[in-house]
Amino acid sequence: MSPVIRVPSNIYSRLERHAKGFDTPASVIEKLLNHYEGIDPSPSHEETDQVAPNDRDIKKYDFNEQTYGKGRLVLAVVKEYTSNNPHTSFNELLEIFPKNIQGSTGVFSHQEDAQDIYERTGHKRHFIKPNELIQLSDCVIAVSAEWGRSNINNLIQQAQSIGYTISPV
């Protein structure tokens, strides 16, 4: 399990200003460390194949005969799992999709927590529209929208380990 680092909200807000697209807090801190330590984080040739000019990874994936970007792929996988296992509780889903797959915020959160994050920060870090929320046996959850090249493979590997087929487009 990764250690938890607590930072004051004013410093967290400063970190948010350095995030691009779907950066996680850990990736923003890594960028700052790389800059401070003089490390050039040039992407490998494989990573540059699907990167837009603004350095945003735009790779798409096929799942259940549909094409998705990273965040929507995760939402579709979790919805598929819960549809096939309708009596799943929050803790049971957490065993299938552990928090460390995503990184700092986890694959999903309670709806109330996701809504609170949005109201406090103004950033939608979860899919929180009514049709995006997922009803579990004991609560409603919102899936994280914060997926990038640093964490999407964790989710894909986990989904494949439970029998789902996901392939890059």
CA 138 vs CA 26, 36, 53: distances in Å: 30, 45, 43
pLDDT at 15: 74
pLDDT digits (tens, 9 = 90+) for 51-73: 555 566 789 999 999 999 999 99
pLDDT digits (tens, 9 = 90+) for 123-140: 889 999 999 999 999 999
pLDDT at 81: 98
> Tens digit of pLDDT per residue, the chain (169 long)?
567 778 787 787 777 777 665 566 777 777 777 777 777 665 444 444 455 555 667 899 999 999 999 999 999 999 999 999 999 999 999 999 999 999 878 999 999 999 999 999 988 899 999 999 999 999 999 999 999 888 999 999 999 999 999 999 9
Report d(CA 142, CA 112) in Å as an integer. 9
Q: What angle do CA 140, 144, 148 make, to 5 degrees?
A: 165
pLDDT at 165: 97
pLDDT at 60: 95
Helix orientation angle between 25-37 and 9-16, rounded to the nearest 10 degrees: 80
The answer to whether the CB of 16 falls within 8 A of the CB of 32 is: no
pLDDT at 102: 92
Tell if the pTM clears 0.85, that is, is over it: no
Domain spans in the chain, listed from the N-terminal domain onward = 9-168
